[in-house]
Amino acid sequence: MSDMTETTPGWLSSDELEMARARMPILYVEAVPVRVDDSGEVTSIGLLLRIGPDGTVSRTLVSGRVLHHERVRDALLRHLEKDLGPVALPRVPASLQPFTVAEYFPTLGVTPYHDPRQHAVSLAYIVPVTGDCRPRQDALDLVWFSPQEAVSEALQSEMPGGHGVLLRQALAHVGFVN
């Protein structure tokens, strides 16, 4: 019998991922891409436009799993490149202290964050990007909004699962008060 070793470390098959999601929290990273001026003040926030499995259109943040044996920094960079393109030029902070830790539950109302698939714990970062962003993978577009537009009720209503709450927390963390 030959040894069938997985050649892509850290990846689970769909069945294995579903089984893991049913039994334990999964670690994610999330990034709020921002543009900053010369003084470091946030001038705009990039939100991805996606179509969900059910066909609904929503705005989301850069987000994805941390793989087994992958550093958080590497996962953050991987997801930024995957969602924003290879020339986005993200400036990941030297210290990987997240601005918050978000716990997503499959049960509504436990926290402001909801993911019907799983219990997930997400480390959330604000990441300035200076390059040309061209969404890839399952994102249709990346649109830049002013902080005032980003916290508007209309835009917040397009952000499912608590991403609107997370975006408000990110803006509060950088000193934007609505």
Note the pLDDT tens digit of each residue in 12-44: 788 888 888 788 899 999 999 999 999 999 999
Q: Is the pTM of this model over 0.85?
A: yes
Distances in Å between the Cα of 163 and the Cα atoms of 7, 62, 103, 122 are 34, 10, 12, 11
pLDDT, one tens digit per residue, over 105-160 is 999 999 999 999 999 999 999 999 999 999 877 788 999 999 999 999 999 999 99
Looking at residue 92, its pLDDT comes to: 93
Q: Which of 168, 10, 141 is nearest to 78 (CA)?
A: 10
pLDDT above 70 (res 6): no
Average pLDDT of 39-63? 92
- In the chain, what is the straight-line distance between the N-terminal and C-terminal CA atoms, in Å? 64
- The amino acid at residue 69 is H
Statement: residue 58 has pLDDT above 60: yes
Domains of the chain: 24-173 (3.90.79.10)
Q: Give the C-alpha separation, 95 to 73, whole Å.
A: 10
**pLDDT (0 to 100) of residue 145:** 97
Dist CA 25 CA 30 (whole Å): 15
Asked whether the predicted pLDDT for residue 5 surpasses 60, the reply is no
**What mean pLDDT value characterizes the chain?**
90
**Per-position DSSP letters for 9-57, written without gaps between them:** TT---HHHHHHHHHHS-EEEEEEEEEEE-TTS-EEEEEEEEEE-TTS-E
8 Å CB contact between 105 and 115: yes
User: Residue 109 corresponds to which tokens in the numbers above?
Assistant: 């109302």
Q: Which has the closest alpha carbon to 104: 88, 94, 115, 93?
A: 115
Of all residues in the chain, what percent are helix, strand and coil, respectively (each to 5)?
Answer: 25, 30, 45
Has residue 2 got a pLDDT over 60?
no
